[in-house]
């Protein structure tokens, strides 16, 4: 079947049957990876029950054989009466090397939905830690395309403009690849702060390189598979990415020193003792992150709504647990939080719902 949209392009549907003009004081915002819409009816029933004002969703299939050859993007918009934008990441090539549960034939990507007016754009990543077009056959999933982040400016009556990001980072890499790609989105958010200070950065960051995943060269591919021992990847991110604020300096020195903050403290102490300026030229080679990533991977004011070591995915009979899903807010007060689908009956991810109010 010919693709309805190509990688990097945005497909929109608008099935709002009424204009929501009543002024709002707070919003319900949902984060959920719906696992290729395998359980499409359960997903729609859950969305109807939750009734979010904004839904940020990853892994939506359009016309893939594995999920019934349906346009699940359109079906969600129709069933909920939403406007939605979908960024295509991959053309899922139909191939005999694929398992039936992975069979393609359509497109796959991520979306943002709302009851309110949205304008969409795509954030192009500089860093792509896995080359799907060259190496997808090694995983028995031949694809054309790459990762993209979808952004939407949302106008809610009675509220300031809101910038939403829907991000899905690569799973077949390591911490360096994921943080580098994430830094592209932080840079975009930082560039828009003066214009739109109220921001929501939600998504599946695939922070999973810990526990038994450390033993897999497929899911933990760099030095941090062992250099982050003692911490989950989500804890490592909280300590070394989110905890370095813009005000702490122009370069993320926690990343420069591999997340060993004690080493950075010794370095800083020596610089003060000998009246030297801190330098990152050699430190970046220690950490493995390019200099532009050290510059971009600083927190411009986002707050994590949940404990960093919570669980949103369980595998291998409960032996492996990870927090893959994140809801980061800027200039919002969190009024209430809800986690669901913990039996993973509708998707292999739990959903996260946050009730927020602009500050």
What does the alpha-carbon distance between residue 111 and residue 37 come to, in Å, rounded to a whole number?
13
Phi, then psi, of 77 in degrees rounded to 5: -60, -40
Q: How big is the CA angle at 223 (ends 221 and 224), to the nearest 5 degrees?
A: 90
Mean pLDDT of 81-101: 98
CB 271: neighbour CB atoms within 10 A? 13
Distance CA 301, CA 118 (A): 23
Q: Packing angle between helix 72-80 and helix 40-50, nearest 10 degrees?
A: 30
pLDDT in tens, 181-229: 999 999 999 999 999 999 999 999 999 999 999 999 899 999 999 999 9
CA–CA distance, 126 with 89 (Å, rounded to integer): 15
Which pLDDT band, with edges at 50, 70 and 90, does 65 fall under? very high
Q: How far, in Å, CA of 203 to CA of 167, rounded?
A: 5
Residue with the two structure tokens 């090539």: 93
- Alpha-carbon distances, residue 273 vs 143, 249, 266, 268 (angstroms): 54, 19, 10, 9
Residue 45 host element (H or E): helix 40-50
User: What element of type H or E holds 149?
Assistant: strand 148-155
- Give the pLDDT band of residue 158 (cuts 50, 70, 90): very high
Instruction: Quickly state the pLDDT bin for 276 (edges 50, 70, 90).
Output: low
To the nearest 10°, report the CA torsion of 315, 316, 321, 325. Answer: -20
Q: Which of 242, 235, 248, 124 is nearest to 185 (CA)?
A: 124
**Phi/psi of residue 172, each to 5°?**
-95, 65
More reliable by pLDDT, 59 or 275: 59
Task: State the alpha helices, DSSP H only, in 150-228.
Answer: 175-192, 224-227
The CA distances from residue 25 to 155, 173, 185, 230, 335, in Å, are 13, 41, 27, 42, 11
27 DSSP β-pair partners: 356
- DSSP class of residue 71? B
pLDDT-based confidence at residue 261 (cuts at 50, 70, 90): confident
Provide mean pLDDT across the span 145-156. Answer: 98
Per-residue model confidence (pLDDT) at position 316: 81
Q: Tell me the sheet residues that pair with 207.
A: none
d(CA 223, CA 180): 14
Q: Tell me which fold the domain 10-219+303-358 belongs to.
A: Deoxyribonuclease I; Chain A (3.60.10)
Q: Which residues pair with 91 in a beta bridge?
A: 107, 144
Would you state the pLDDT for residue 305?
Answer: 95
- Helix (H/G/I), strand (E/B), else coil: 106: coil
pLDDT of residue 270: 77
Tokens of 311: 């669980």
Boundaries of every domain in the chain? 10-219+303-358
Q: Tell me: the pLDDT tens digits for 327-341? A: 999 999 999 999 999
Q: What is the pLDDT of residue 86?
A: 98
Out of 89-93, 213-217, 236-240, 299-303, least confident range: 213-217
Q: What would the two tokens of residue 140 be?
A: 């028995």
Rounded Cα distance, 323 and 310, in Å: 6
What integer pLDDT is reported at residue 157 of this predicted model?
96
Cβ atoms of 235 and 308 within 8 Å: the answer is yes
Could you tell me if 37 and 106 are in contact, meaning their C-beta atoms sit under 8 angstroms apart?
no
């Amino acid at each position: 079947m010919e693709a309805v949209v190509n990688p990097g392009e945005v497909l929109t549907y608008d099935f709002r049957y009424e204009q929501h003009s009543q002024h709002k004081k707070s919003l319900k915002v949902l984060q959920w990876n719906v696992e290729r819409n395998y359980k499409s009816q359960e997903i729609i029933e859950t969305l109807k029950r939750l009734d979010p004002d904004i839904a940020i969703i990853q892994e939506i299939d359009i016309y893939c054989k594995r999920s019934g050859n349906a346009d699940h993007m359109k079906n969600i918009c129709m069933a909920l009466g939403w406007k939605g934008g979908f960024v295509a990441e991959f053309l899922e090539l139909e191939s005999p090397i694929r398992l039936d549960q992975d069979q393609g034939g359509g497109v796959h990507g991520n979306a943002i939905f709302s009851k309110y007016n949205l304008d969409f754009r795509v954030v192009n990543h500089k860093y792509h830690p896995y080359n799907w077009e060259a190496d997808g056959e090694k995983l028995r999933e031949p694809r054309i395309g790459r990762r993209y982040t979808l952004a939407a400016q949302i106008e809610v009556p009675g509220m300031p403009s809101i910038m939403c990001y829907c991000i899905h980072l690569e799973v077949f890499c390591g911490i360096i690849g994921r943080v580098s790609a994430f830094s592209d989105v932080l840079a975009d958010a930082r560039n828009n702060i003066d214009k739109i200070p109220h921001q929501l950065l939600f998504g599946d960051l695939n922070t999973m390189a810990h526990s038994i995943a450390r033993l897999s060269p497929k899911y933990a591919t760099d030095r941090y598979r062992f250099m982050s021992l003692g911490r989950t990847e989500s804890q490592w991110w909280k300590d070394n990415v989110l905890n370095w604020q813009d005000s702490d300096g122009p370069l993320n020195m926690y990343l420069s020193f591999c997340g060993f903050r004690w080493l950075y403290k010794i370095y800083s102490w020596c610089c003060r003792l000998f009246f030297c300026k801190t330098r990152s030229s050699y430190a970046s080679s220690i950490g493995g992150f390019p200099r532009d990533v050290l510059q971009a991977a600083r927190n411009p004011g986002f707050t994590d709504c949940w404990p960093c070591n919570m669980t949103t995915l369980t595998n291998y009979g409960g032996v492996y647990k990870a927090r893959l899903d994140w809801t980061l807010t800027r200039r919002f007060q969190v009024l209430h939080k809800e986690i669901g689908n913990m039996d993973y009956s509708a998707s292999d991810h739990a959903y996260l719902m946050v009730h927020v109010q602009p500050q």
